[in-house]
Chains A and B, each alone.
Chain A
Amino acid sequence: MKDELDKRLDNQPDGPERRGSLKDIPVREELLPRWVKGPEGQEYVVEPLQDYFCQAGPTVQTPAYTRIIEDLFNWARAESLWILGFGTGCGAIEMRPLMTPRFDAYRYGIQWRPTPRQANLFVISGYLSVKTLKRAIRSYEQMQNPKYVVGLGSCTINGGMYWDSYNTIKRLDDYLPVDLYITGCMPRPEALLQGFDDLKKLIRAGKAEGANHYAEHFDWYKANQKRVIKDWDMPDYSW
């Protein structure tokens, strides 16, 4: 089946190139190009990675309004931080007390959203294994501009206690644009609240433009990501 597919792809004008580019990366079976027979007997190639996903990269979204309105928006963004409910490492356990009566982060406009579409703050909570990095990248890219990343704990800065582990990343900043680090192993919930407060100051000052930084240096980030993720079976940018 696969040989036949290769042969048919070779007959197409740009077939060999496409097959060549696919060969370098191990791709899951269902994402490989395949021949499909239509209801009236016509045959055509379906390339899931090309056909099912948008191939365009991210674009820089500059502030579109006058200074006053942009300041208002920045204030609203700072006072309405919606955290993506995605815990990567042990740090996720430190976020739970923030929701409950003892620390109650809702008082400061911090809420948790279960879907990346609605969230604007991604807290990488602790160590990030390469396998999770893949999901973290996809989730980050599905969030809408402007979006912020906070690295929680030493692991996101230099690997922390996992500094010599073979399957965790060491510097989060190489893969996603980090706006703020909260140090500690683990940082206490008070430290998190302090960190969110500092992030609010950055946002209000208009300095938290990580999403645009990611779009500007997209190639650099992608190269770093692909260096550690060996089985890259997803589109380059997840819309």
Chain B
Amino acid sequence: MQFEWIMVPYSLLTLFIVVNYGLLLTALMQKIGARVGRRHGIPIWQNYVDLIKNYGIRSSITHGVMFYLGPVFRLTGGVGLLLFVPTLYGSEMFSNLSFAGDLILALYFIFFGSLGMALGAGESGHPHSAIGVSRGLSQVTTAELPFALAVFAIALQYQTLSVTEIVAAQQGSVWNWTLFTNPLAVAAAMLSFLGSMMRPPFDVVLAPQEIPIGPPTEYHSSYLALMQTNRVIFPIAKIVVYMNLFFGGAATWPVFFLKVFLIYFFSLFVGVVFPRFRVEQSVRWFLVWALPLGIAAILVV
């Protein structure tokens, strides 16, 4: 990959589009969830208002350096994941900073935010944060395992570590998508996807009705606003990786919006149908159901 300065404003444009889409999409998903519960739910612009309010809070307190850096790390994870993976396939403008080995970097960035959060929440000294972090890390780790296996299976299948090349190999027909060429890997990855979206049945870490409210118990004002920003970027960035690896990528923005919506909707759909797991249940569930699928995907390849 040749670096050119014009890529910087292009990447920022991608980020801008994704943040706005994420803010609206997250609210839309909450509205759909509310409709299932026969409510109307939040207004579609509520996320913008919450964000402005949290940036506008006048006072804030700190618990130390890592407390500052926690949300920053988290946001870095989301933005980094988004910027090092091509958002639109074949587009000069929206290929971002993707390069030959970006799949490995993407795997790392997915985990990076959680680690930063663990350090930051740990320093806040609140017992609920510590419990939330230990729950979150154990759940995310087991949820990542099947995904990592699926990614290895895909890398073996296409003999490359470049997301762009993997997308290129899936072009032509719907039947070229990894979804049809390697369904086991996609199944394992989609089960793992449920675990990382922080929706039921795997949202015990952040659910307000459980131990309040998990890792971000002590976070407020601008810290919380940073984390909210990440909460709208990160799912989209992660879905972009999924879309590129398994569902043929997207060549235009309308296709992008549709595919991201559908993949996001999958986790919502499962979430409103099934009740919440406890952490040990979800860990066992991932190990029993998702992990063998991932191993089988590698064996089949």
Contact = CB atoms under 8 A, between A and B. Distances in A.
Contacts of A76: 49-50, 52-53, 56
Nearest to A58: B59
A221 interface: no
Contact of A109 (B49, B57, B213): B49
Contacts of A104: 34, 39-41
Given A80-B53, A113-B208, A144 B58 contact: yes
Contacts of A106: 34, 39-42
A144 B49 contact: no
A100 interface: yes
A146 B128 CA distance: 25
B212 A114 contact: yes
Given A80-B49, A85-B208, A146-B57, A107 B220 contact: no
B219 A77 contact: no
A96 B221 CA distance: 26
Contacts of A100: 39
5 contacts: A76-B49, A106-B42, A107-B41, A107-B43, A117-B218
B187 to A, nearest CB: 35
A109 B220 contact: no
B168 to A, nearest CB: 44
A239 B49 contact: no
A229 interface: no
Interface in A84-101: 85, 100-101
B1 interface: no
A145 interface: yes
A211 to B, nearest CB: 8
Nearest to A62: B58
Interface of A: 61, 63-64, 72-73, 76-77, 79-80, 85, 100-101, 104, 106-107, 109, 111-115, 117-118, 120, 144-146, 239
Contact of A79 (B39, B49, B58): B49
B64 interface: no
Interface in B4-41: 34, 37-41
A145 B46 contact: no
A104 B34 CA distance: 10
Given A101-B37, A113-B208, A118 B49 contact: no
Contact of A144 (B39, B42, B57, B212): B57
Contacts of B224: 117-118
B61 interface: yes
Nearest to B124: A117
Given A61-B58, A114-B212, 16 more contacts: A73-B53, A76-B56, A80-B53, A101-B38, A104-B41, A106-B34, A106-B41, A107-B39, A109-B43, A113-B208, A114-B208, A115-B218, A118-B213, A118-B224, A144-B61, A145-B57
B59 A144 contact: yes
A106 B49 CA distance: 13
Contacts of A146: 57-58
Given A80-B50, A114-B213, A107 B56 contact: no
B217 interface: yes
Interface in B156-199: none
B208 A144 contact: no
Contacts of B42: 106-107, 109, 111
